[in-house]
Structure 1
Amino acid sequence: MKGNKNKAEQNYALDEQVGFLLRRAYQRHTAIFQEHIPDQHLTSAQFAVLVTTQKLGQASLVQISHEAAIDHATLRDIVSRLKKRGLLKVEQGKQDRRQKLVSLMPEGEKLLRETIPVARQVTDMTLSPLNECEQIAVLHILQKLSHCEE
């Protein structure tokens, strides 16, 4: 029995595992994003927060966290950084003063107008090793994997 376990462990190929491959693909995408996006200080997570805020209009941190798939603690830090840059406005909720409501500032809207076309190109570059059929398939598969309920 012990010999079989050691053999199984020896045959484990990290570069054939889904987590490893997803991480490598994400690293490649992030490198392409950072290389081509016009604002060198904008991270992909910050971009996701700006796009989500644009989509939702004025929204709570909880709404943005859920929609952008970013944990609340990380989101607070991202929002704080974007607020310091004058890209987001954060206000207390009128009905619930504990709630923070986030909205885009004009500078944030301007940055998105400049960045979204490039972000579309980044997606195209990320998917460029794939043919059209594979691109459709990988997006479908990733959407399916990302919406699995445990």
Structure 2
Amino acid sequence: MEHLGTTRYVTALIADLNLRTGRLKWVSHGRHPPVRIRDGRLVDLPVCQPGSPLGVDLGPGATVSEEQLHPGDRLVLFTYGITETHGPGGDEFGLDRFVNFIVRHDAEGLPVPEALRRLIHSILDYHGGALQDDATVLFVEWHGP
């Protein structure tokens, strides 16, 4: 991010899920918001103003966003290595392909570990077995109080 005046920075999504109430709070510092799946469909989380990456002073900080989850909601948090790493042909795996993959496999009723296993294999196959960036995915399913 030399255009920001520094090459040392960290992007982050910091989230807090109250397991008793299902209240989700999060702050984004240069990251996409979590993906939420409800009843096999994508349900967008509210748009909130992200802050600058950590270590870069570009103005006001991020705003805290809040949302009430419903029992059975699934959240998917991920790093850019999942969506923005280029495959051998130069194309990104992409946010749309990632979200469609998650929704499709969720609609099949797959358990979270199996959906994650299939996602990892799909991303590795797309990138010819080698990733150029960190690739982290976290699935969270809230079962209710």
TM range (shorter): under 0.3
When normalised by structure 2's length, the TM-score is 0.26
Instruction: Give me the TM-score of the superposition, normalised by structure 1.
Output: 0.25
Higher RCO (C-alpha 8 Å, min separation 6): 2
Q: Name the larger-Rg structure.
A: 1
**Structure with a larger share of its residues in strand:** 2
Instruction: Please state which structure has a larger fraction of its residues in helix.
Output: 1
